[in-house]
Amino acid sequence: MSRRIKRTISPGDRAKERTKGGPKGGPKSASKGGSKSGAGHRSRKPEDRKASDRPSSHRASGKPPRFAEPRREPRKRPEPVAATPKAANELPLPTKVQTVVVTADEDNMRVDRFLEARFPGLSFSHIQRIVRKGELRVNGRRADSKDRLEEGQSVRIPPLRLDAPKTVGVLSEAQTKTLQALKEMTLYEDDDVLVLNKPAGLAVQGGSGMTRHVDQMLEVMRDAKGQKPRLVHRIDRETSGCLLIAKTRFAASHLTGAFRHRSARKIYWALVAGVPKPKQGRISTYLAKEENEEDTIMRIAEHGDEGASHAVTYYAVVEASATKLAWVSLKPVTGRTHQLRAHMAHIDHAIVGDPKYFNKENWQLPGGLQNRLHLLARRIVIPHPRGGVIDVSAPLPPHMQQSWNLLGLEADRFDPIENAPEE
């Protein structure tokens, strides 16, 4: 092959891919351009498209956005990335106190993720320790690890150190079981990158009273130098699906940069209450954290509100079950906390089984469906640190597969979100 494309498709998905014959009778992916698909879309010439076809906010008047038509031109693949030792903004570990300025690319990043991106290899516990002790300061003030940074702020960083590599010895019986569990979750793996199919209910990182989580499980995958794989993004505990992990410091730097520059594409599947109208749209709001003694949620905010961040999500109804439920595909442009869950509740089509945002009164769950969050991190597409593209899809988790079966939803239908805009 003239270009290196890293693509992993599960056996079940491979059988489900819709194809059509090419000029010589060879298969051609329906998502790359064709006149028919499971969504029943129509192909139009570019000159026939009207201005009203352009994406607009969910509440905007006029013709709703249409992005179900496959593109005529194949999606351009990112250019190969040079395998340099360090990314442009990756700094050496400081041996004395230093002050750095938050760049435009780092605007709205959490403090802990800012440190992870600037200094790949720092352990989660070390980051929490320096923040908790007040050694890290933003514009001269103490900061919490979850605080959001703003472009132009000055961040005082204390001397840092990598944790001493742990000796790699013979795994215990419990560690061997953990390693096997990770192997069973694996959707894709090479020398630099690992993509797991995280099950619903398993947390990505530790918290209060949390004893088992992905970050802790990765301890059993330390290499001969004692280096442990690193998380480069996160999904909610009750969300299942694709979780990207860097196996090397080099990969961690490039992958976190891809998320920061929004060159990573994520697609989610959800089962929601009711059928959204229009069936394809764009949700654009501001979100802000609201905390109380019992819980923390994201609320719809106004521009200028304290802590408010802009959030954009594209959605498309793939298939409906009468007027009671709908299978919706979601493409987040931004990556705010609970963004998809808050956005779907905002347009009055909350995700089924969501304990935080499902607040529809007198709504009964159809018989046979489990009252669990019906949200899947279905697919991730991201440039590989050494060139080419990683494109991985996760299957429906058991509780969602059961719902799809009971509702008669066809999981191999054409997904119109494939052609939604990237911004």
Confirm if 400 and 365 have CB atoms less than 8 A apart: no
Query: Which tokens is 147 given?
Result: 């605080």
Position 352, amino acid? V
Query: Which tokens is 144 given?
Result: 């919490």
110 DSSP assignment: B
* Residue 365, Cβ density class (10 Å: 0-12 exposed, 13-18 middle, ≥19 buried): middle
H/E run at residue 245 = strand 240-246
Catalytic residue among 112, 192, 215, 236: 236
How far is CA 404 from each of CA 230, 325, 416, rounded to the nearest angstrom? 34, 11, 18
Confirm if 245 and 234 have CB atoms less than 8 A apart: no
Our answer to whether residue 348 is catalytic in this structure is no
Could you give the CA distance from residue 380 to residue 224 in angstroms, rounded to a whole number? Answer: 29
Nearest alpha-carbon partner for 347 in 402, 279, 411, 417: 279
**Residue-by-residue DSSP string for 362-391:** T--PPTT--SS--EEEEEEEEE-TTSSEEE
Q: Positive or negative CA dihedral for 345, 348, 352, 356?
A: positive
Residues annotated as catalytic are 236
